[in-house]
Structure 1
Amino acid sequence: MAHNPVNHPARPVYRAIAGLIGLYLVAFGALGFVEAGGGEFFAQDDTLVLGQGTNLGNSAISAVLGLVILLATLVGRNIDAAVDKFLGYGLMALGLAELAVLRTDANYLNSTVATTIVTMTLGLVLVMCGMYGKVGSEEEARAWQDARLVL
């Protein structure tokens, strides 16, 4: 996008924040495996991890997403910016889906209101990290600055 900055001065901070989100998701998934271990994959019970409802399915999704975010953050080279934006939008969509099925029998991920809030917040912050984490050449950065000053 033309409106996303290139070589933003705070990009290392945004990259670190994305890495912390990945670590959080991996930790949430691992703790969910421990807490809900031996149960049904899509159980709808009162299993809580870090104050959020979960089951083995939710834990698996969280752990995989966290690993993908961590790998993309380690690779860098604008792959992390693209992955962060894509998965951030995906997490926000997942949060809306969790909210839609919260008190129904279709709540297969055993979500609670806290789970929905955390998922939406992580998605929003991840999109922000993707928007400000783009790295480019000096020419691209200069073109972005020139376009910004014209507006």
Structure 2
Amino acid sequence: MATVTQNQARRGRGVVLDDHLPVDHRLRRVYRSGAGLMGAFLIMFGILGLIDRIGFFSTSGGMVMGLGGNGALSVASLLVGGLLLAGAVIGGNTASTVNITLGVAFLAAGFAGLAVLDTRFNVFAFHLQNVFFSFVTGLLLMTFGMYGRVSGSLPHDNPYWRSRHPRG
């Protein structure tokens, strides 16, 4: 039987996101601040939504900070805000990965919310403002997470370029 190379062994493990990324670099503040600001906003929205005592699965919901919502959306906002704040506290590549992942989730939630507007399946009581908020938040989180990490022409002093080209 042939010897398994290191690359073949790695392929068997599945996707590994952060193996090639530098652990500590100057862009960590961008990742942390983006996650922290969005997390704090979502936690504030969730707390105000729970204080308002809107029905938990009410499809009409109520307005909180200019956005439609209900108890379920408030709890979901608290959970996601907590994840973002945890990413901000941990920092570095974890904050970047959390930002990117939740950014994609916010975009998906925006499309899902748009699909169920004014139907009985609108369990988070989304309004059009929520859809726009989800799209903008998703794009901002993805931008914060990908800043300096994803580009076709990274400068040679970028820590991601250096980690991918150790002899360059």
Normalised TM-score (structure 1)? 0.80
Distance 1:71 1:23 in 2: 11
Where does residue 73 of structure 1 map in the other structure? 88
| Residue identity matched to 2:124 | L
The whole-number CA distance in structure 2 between the counterparts of 1:133 and 1:29 is 31
SS of equivalent residue, structure 1 residue 125: helix
Q: How does 1:1-151 map to 2 (within 5 A)?
A: 11-35=28-52, 37=53, 39-132=54-147, 140-142=160-162
Are the aligned partners of 1:95 and 1:119 in contact in 2 as well (CA < 8 Å)?
Answer: yes
Q: Answer whether contact 1:11 1:132 (CA < 8 A) is retained.
A: no
> What is the root-mean-square deviation in Å for CA atoms of aligned residues?
3.0
Distance 2:41 2:160 in 1: 33
CA pair 139-9 structure 1, distance change in 2 beyond 3 A: closer
Which protein has the bigger helix share? 1
Where in structure 1 do 4 or more consecutive aligned residues deviate above 6 Å?
5-8
Which has the higher Rg, Structure 1 or Structure 2? Answer: 2
1:113-132 per-position Cα deviation (integer Å, ceiling 9, x unaligned): 00111111111100111112
SS at match of 2:92: coil
- Displacement of 1:45 in angstroms is 2.6
SS in 2 for 1:84: helix
In the alignment, residue 55 of structure 2 is paired with which amino acid? Answer: E
Q: Following TM superposition, by how much is the alpha carbon of 1:133 offset from its aligned partner in structure 2, in angstroms?
A: 6.5
Please give the alpha-carbon distance, in whole angstroms, between the structure 2 residues aligned to 1:139 and 1:25.
31
1:41, distance to aligned residue in structure 2 (A):
1.5
TM-score (norm 2): 0.72
Identical-pair percentage: 33
Distance 1:142-1:50 versus aligned 2 partners, 3 A rule:
same
Question: Alpha-carbon deviation of 1:105?
Answer: 1.3
Measure, in 1, the Cα distance between the counterparts of 2:73 and 2:79: 10
Q: Deviations over 1:32-85 (max 9, x none)?
A: 1011x2x53211234100111000001111110001000111111311111111
Distance change (3 Å), C-alpha of 1:70 and 1:55: same
> Please, which runs of 5 or more residues in structure 1 have no aligned partner?
147-151
The residue aligned with 1:149 is: none
